């Protein structure tokens, strides 16, 4: 029987997290495009980028769900970014020269086009204080046991306390999970470019009003 504990992520966890990330998203086209195939080189590239963000983003909360009955194995991960007061978001930059995990120039061009379109949509829609649910994954062998729900509910409780909504970008696979937890669709898009078929939803969750 799994015994789940939610706790903060430490710098020493990242190798295990990156391995889990690639396993959890192995069938998600956009994740393959943005991080590359699951190779030692690409895991190292992704880990270095993630560690830098982990060390420099002061508004970011990283949590892990561990199985205490299996050597504290990391079974699920979530990242929330807190922006409780509206400040216009900065545009993240990703040049084709930065895409060192991709070898095909066409793939780099496709990612460049798709990334800019996704960022444009985000900057257009997000005009309020909010929490961004930036990353959520559960290892395949631990799915269906309520791990995602626990991590989503943690964020919803925080959003209720801060009285701000949660925004996220959902894959097709995760979309039913977020609908079940009260998120609503804001926009939907579908990209068919080269060999890539990427479909996603922008979703929002409204906090509950405080009651006496």
* pTM of the predicted model as reported, rounded to 2 decimal places: 0.92
pLDDT band at 38 (very low <50, low <70, confident <90, very high): very high
pLDDT of residue 95: 87
108-155 tens-digit pLDDT: 999 999 999 999 999 999 999 999 999 999 999 999 888 999 999 999
Express as a percent the part of the chain with pLDDT over 70: 98
Contacts of 186 (CB under 8 A, 6+ apart): 125, 167, 201, 202, 203, 204
Whole-number Å distance between alpha carbons of 74 and 131: 24
Tally of domains in the chain? 1
Residue 212 counted as domain residue? no
Which tokens sit at 191? Answer: 């990209």
- 176: domain CATH number is 3.40.630.30
Instruction: For residue 80, give its domain range.
Output: 4-205
The whole-number average pLDDT for the span 88-97 is 87
Closest CA to 76 of 62, 86, 89, 66: 66
Residues shown for the chain? 212
- Has residue 109 been placed in a domain? yes
Q: Give the C-alpha separation, 28 to 34, whole Å.
A: 10
């Amino acid at each position: 029987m799994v015994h789940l504990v939610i706790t903060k992520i430490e710098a020493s966890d990242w190798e295990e997290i990156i391995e889990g990330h690639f396993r959890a998203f192995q069938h998600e086209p956009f994740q393959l495009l943005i991080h590359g195939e699951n190779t030692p080189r690409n895991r190292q590239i992704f880990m270095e980028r993630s560690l830098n963000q982990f060390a420099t983003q002061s508004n970011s909360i990283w949590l892990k769900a561990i199985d205490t009955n299996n050597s504290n194995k990391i079974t699920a991960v979530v990242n929330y970014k807190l922006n409780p007061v509206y400040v216009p978001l900065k545009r993240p930059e990703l040049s084709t020269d930065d895409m060192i995990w991709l070898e095909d120039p066409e793939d780099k061009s496709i990612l460049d086009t798709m990334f800019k379109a996704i960022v444009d949509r985000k900057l257009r829609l997000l005009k309020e204080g909010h929490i961004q649910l930036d990353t959520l994954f559960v290892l395949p062998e631990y799915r269906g046991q309520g791990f995602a729900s626990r991590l989503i509910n943690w964020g919803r409780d925080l959003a209720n306390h801060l009285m701000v909504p949660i925004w996220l970008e959902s894959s097709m696979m995760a979309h039913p999970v977020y609908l079940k937890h009260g998120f609503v669709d804001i926009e939907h898009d579908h990209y068919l470019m080269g060999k890539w078929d990427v479909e996603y939803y922008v979703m929002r969750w409204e906090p509950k009003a405080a009651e006496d």
